[in-house]
């Protein structure tokens, strides 16, 4: 009996170092939320800084300019996440129609090539965007040669259509990658079902509409739930590399705003406060969406 317990504990000790790593890098940062309640000034230790309670939280809504700024940031976040959510069916359609291609080589080629951008970092995407769309880049030289414009267009310094162009880059980067999951799901559709439909004289569009798409919906809903839960988490890398003085107003999403507040203007405490609110809202969203998914579809992703 005791020997069994010793062995059971020994197994635990064997994974303990890794559990400690997780505690340090994923759970200990939650303690960093403390900073939101102090007036933290970097060289000083936290203990030497005055405790200010909810000052930073109330400061977020204290002045009209501040409110205006935050409303704009929220607008950007909602717009970019909203466009992504609204077009979340695109990878599914991509996979469905790619599957209609009968040439195996062509299909494999398209699949390989369209997943490639996913493996390129945002810095490199920006570098590519720069090469193609700066004043002497591919797009401008083409347009000038065609005689459509006389002066180069500064595509990357536009303050208009920022939400849309950022969505385009995001789609360029990960459309093919997300489609892989649907392609995997399509390959597991029952063959007999397809055969039966064909024998009954169903056209390909009918097969797509009545068999393929319904069998992909479970995958779609799982990804949708994850997307909704991440509504406020756009990440900052994409927007950080693409931001400049001209588009800053429309490109600052919450994650980037938090970074700019802390690293740009030294407002550590206030940006921790925003981070904290954002994380709490995200967890609540996740729980709600997961609950809804459980209630409606009887499936939980957690």
Partner 1 sequence: MRKEVEPKTKIKISAGDRTLEIICYIIFSIAAFLCLYPFYYIVINTISANDLSAKGDILFWPKGIHFHNYSSAFRIDGLFQALKISLMRTTLGTAFTVFASAYLGFMFTQEKMWLRKVWYRLIVATMYFNAGIIPWYLVMKNMHLTNNFWGYILPAIVSPFNLILTKTFVESVPKELQEAAEMDGAGVLTVFFKVIIPVIKPIMATVAIFSAVSQWNAFQDTLLLMTDTKLYPLQFVLYQYLNQASSLASLAQSNTSTSSLAAAAATTQTTTSVRMTITVIVVLPIMLVYPIFQKYFVKGIMIGAVKG
Site for partner 1 in 172-201 (CB under 8 A): 172, 175-176, 180-181, 183-189, 191, 194-195, 198
CB-CB contact of 261 with 77 (8 Å): no
Please say which residue, 5 or 64, places its beta carbon nearer to partner 1.
Answer: 5
* Residue 18 is a binding residue for partner 1 (CB under 8 A): yes
39, 249, 278, 281: which one binds partner 1 (CB under 8 A): 278
Q: Does 300 bind partner 1 (CB under 8 A)?
A: no
For partner 1, the closer CB: 17 or 64: 17
- The answer to the question of residue 221 lying near partner 1 (CB under 8 A) is no
| CA-closest candidate to residue 220, choices 264, 172, 186 | 186
Residue 98 near partner 1 by CB under 8 A:
yes
Report how far residue 111's alpha carbon sits from residue 91's, in angstroms, rounded to the nearest whole number.
12
**Under the phi-then-psi rule, with left for phi > 0, alpha for psi from -120 to 50, and beta for the rest, what region is 116?**
alpha
Taking the C-alpha atoms of residue 282 and residue 225, their distance in angstroms, rounded to an integer, is: 12
- Looking at beta carbons only, is 34 or 85 nearer to partner 1? 34
Residue 198 CB, nearest approach to partner 1 (Å): 5
Q: Rule CB under 8 A: which of 73-92 touch partner 1? A: none
Applying CB under 8 A, the span of 21-29, 49-57, 82-90, 245-253 interacting with partner 1 comes to 21-29
**What gap in Å lies between CA 105 and CA 28, rounded to an integer?**
50
Residue 57: name the closest of 257, 260, 259, 277 by CA: 277
Of residues 123, 242, 97, 252, the one with CA closest to residue 175: 97
Q: Is 245 in the site for partner 1 (CB under 8 A)?
A: no
Which residues in 140-179 contact partner 1 (CB under 8 A)? 140-142, 172, 175-176
């Amino acid at each position: 009996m005791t020997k069994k317990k010793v062995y059971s504990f020994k197994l635990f000790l064997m994974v303990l170092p890794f559990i400690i790593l997780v505690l340090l890098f994923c759970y200990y940062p939650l303690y960093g939320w403390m900073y939101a309640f102090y007036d933290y000034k970097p060289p000083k230790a936290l203990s030497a800084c005055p405790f200010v309670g909810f000052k930073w939280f109330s400061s977020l809504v204290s002045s009209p300019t501040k409110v205006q700024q935050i409303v704009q940031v929220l607008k950007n976040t909602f717009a970019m996440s909203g466009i992504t959510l609204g077009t979340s069916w695109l990878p599914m359609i991509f996979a469905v129609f790619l599957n209609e291609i009968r040439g195996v080589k062509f299909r494999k080629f398209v699949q390989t090539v369209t997943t490639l951008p996913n493996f390129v970092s945002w810095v490199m995407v920006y570098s590519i965007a720069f090469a193609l769309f700066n004043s002497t880049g591919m797009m401008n030289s083409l347009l000038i040669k065609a005689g459509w414009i006389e002066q180069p267009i500064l595509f990357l310094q536009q303050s208009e259509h920022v939400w849309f162009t950022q969505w385009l880059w995001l789609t360029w980067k990960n459309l093919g990658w997300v489609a892989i999951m649907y392609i995997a799901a399509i390959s597991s559709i029952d063959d007999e079902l397809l055969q039966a439909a064909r024998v009954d004289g169903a056209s390909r569009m009918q097969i797509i509409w009545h068999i393929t798409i319904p069998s992909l919906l479970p995958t779609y809903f799982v990804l949708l739930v994850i997307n909704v839960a991440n509504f406020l988490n756009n990440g900052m890398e994409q927007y950080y590399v693409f931001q400049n003085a001209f588009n800053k107003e429309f490109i600052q999403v919450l994650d980037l705003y938090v970074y700019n507040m802390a690293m740009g203007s030294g407002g550590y405490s206030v940006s921790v406060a925003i981070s904290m609110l954002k994380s709490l809202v995200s967890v609540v969203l996740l729980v709600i969406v997961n609950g809804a998914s459980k209630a409606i579809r009887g499936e939980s992703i957690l």
